[in-house]
Structure 1
Amino acid sequence: MSGNVMDKAIETVKKATDADQKGEYAEAVRLYEHAVEYFLHAIKYETHGDRSKQTLRLKCSQYLDRAEELKKHLAKGGGKKKQTVSDHGHTNSKKSNDNNSDSDEDDDKRKMKDQLSSAIVTEKPNVHWDDIAGLDAAKEALKEAVILPIRFPHLFTGNRVPWRGILLYGPPGTGKSYLAKAVATEADSTFFSISSSDLMSKYLGESERLVKNLFEMARANKPAIIFIDEVDSMCGSRSEGEHDATKRIKTEFLVQMEGVGVDNNGILVLGATNLPWALDHAIRRRFEKRIYIPLPEEKARQKIFELRVGSTPHGLSHRNFYDLACKTDGYSGADIGIVTRDAIMQPLRKVQGATHFKMIQGISSLTGEHRSDMLTPCAPNEQGAIEMSWLQVEPAQLAEPIVTVMDFTRSLAKTKPTVNHDDLKNFEDFTRDFGQEG
């Protein structure tokens, strides 16, 4: 493809969308049609396959459809929001045209805000600070950035201002998103949970307007927290071959985070990523605090095991949980969660695979009553063993076996850690250069 022609096409479309937004509809029609001509010319020189040609043709169709809509609007008496060179010095009454274009702009903004409203977390996730094992430094930093300014605003005057941007980074499964849930639960503020898909649009210019509208909504609902998971997918390093639309999204994001000409007090941007080194350096600078969320230490691993088992009937002692923590060096919180989920499923597998059951005394978990005819799986040679399958057991009679250390041993044998040494080395290098320990 001729890069020069493609550049002209993109530049012309940008001018067309700008004219469209300003209500200069006749000019927008002219530019859309010129842009399509450039794109069609570029297709003739496309050498990258049918998929690229199909994408360009789809764009041409979208721009021509928009041009036709504007032509119909002009034919019905709609006009330009302001004069252009084609007026040749004649002045016309533009009050009704202003109203029409303002109405169109309000409709667009309303649609975008409706699209973003689903990102507002209305129900608190019910995750509290105590539910997170370890990560004390990260929790203290988030409390300092979120809780203190809301509860004690008089403490933040003069040069003492709360943090505007915090980046949580570390290996997958270490609790970055879980920390964000705790912030949403504990903070008395509007919480926006955003992913890159919420801000991406196939229409040229709309993605950056979504970014702008997101920050406008946050400013209108202060105090507010904008949480962006996997922020690297939207704000990666800029490169020469990068698509123009992606560059504009990053530029708009940078402008909105910097808050030039607007009041960003009471707004915190909280980002999470597994690839901090992939972030654009300007975006990285906007995150004033960059906190490393490492793999859990021994004490934290023990607490994660205890929290994950919770109220599930088990026979593990404090010492058993400590031994499990010692055996899982290098496991992330998510890895331990998988081990625990598999282990506490073992009793159910015993029920499902049992060929014999025996009667015991116990409390029915279904009715809560004490019964002497509860049935639990047993070996065929055990005293009182009755040959039957679990399908023959009444639900209220079933006494589930408790979780044992052996169940965890089996689960550990088939569940390996998901983070390797090379990954950790990359995080340690980034922390040494740009971050701080969490």
Structure 2
Amino acid sequence: MFDFDMLGLAPALNDALKSANFSQPTPIQNQAIPLALNGHDILGLAQTGTGKTLAFGLPLIDHLLNQPGKPAPKTAKALILAPTRELVNQIADSLRVLTGKTKLRVATVVGGQSINKQIAFLGRGTDILVATPGRLIDLMERKAVDLGSVRHLVLDEADQMLDLGFIHALRKIAPALGTPRQTMLFSATMPKQMEEISRAYLTNPQRVQVSPPGKAADKITQSVHFVTKPEKPGKLREILSQDTDALTLVFSRTKHGAEKLMKGLVADGYNAASIHGNKSQGQRDRAIKAFRAGEINVLVATDVAARGIDIPGVAYVINYDLPEVPDNYVHRIGRTARAGREGEAIAFCSAEEVDLLRQIQRLMKIDIPVASGTQPEPVEAARSGRRQNNRRFKPRPPNGSAKPAHNKRRRPRRKPAA
């Protein structure tokens, strides 16, 4: 293990790290930063909350500080792609802490905000552009940004971008980038398609992995409560009442469900807010800011926030509904136990979700400890069994001679007499 000041970073970066109370790198930073400083392409695998932003941010900024000259209008020297607005803003905020005493400019482009303001800002050029793929393509089609000067590309949380159709966007964006360039890809999981992206867009990458894909942070305590659907609201309130001051993040599967759950909690006196796809970007930003400041202590969210919340003080993550994609469970619970802290992840599982739980446990290669209840028979399996038992089997006609009723030949209509 080394200290940040042993890396030979630019003095401005060392000063920024000390001001932000960063002294020793995390394992992913420990492995990735020296390789990236030497110009290697990086394929980084680590669960959320392990410090991936600094792992690519520090070498990226160091390289840019050694490249004199201002960016030309509409251009960028480095591009960082991330799947959600929240994550884009989070990355940009972290980078601005590091570039505060330099002349480097950091710009963000995301959907849900004024595209005209983004066009105006990009018109002056920027050193680092952090973007969601969809809005970036909009700006490219409007000729508002020229990516030909980009010599550093970072793909953050690339596995989630795959889920959102990112591969199609990358095929449009990559040809517009400058060459040669350094590319760094970071992901919490490693689906097969990620290997294909690595081969297509990275050149002799150095693979950095600090934990097996699908593994949660070591300091997260996990548990599952087997409950029926109608029992979930009561169980949630029971758990929230045990530590009323703790910051708790509650995940719902749907936007409607998240809003309904939040309103019910507020009606019962809980200090709660919600973020989901039906909220404007301003509403989402305000909710996260209030949650970060402790002005609200229960935030109900859909998976739109699973990778966009970097709040070290989150004590509990409650999966009110289990996610339909097992990888999302890992990203959800990664919102707690961040930056070396401890945290607790609690899951509710109804009969309809038993199969989802099994998929999650298979991915993580663990059995999540049962806190209460008994695992029910999966609903779908029970229904399938009933259908099998009640099905009436008719003897099959010999040689398949029988034909479905809708295939029977019909008599042609008689033409009316003249």
Superposition TM-score, scaled by structure 1 size:
0.28
| Higher-helix-fraction structure | 1
Greater C-alpha Rg: 1
| Higher-strand-fraction structure | 2
Superposition TM-score, scaled by structure 2 size:
0.29
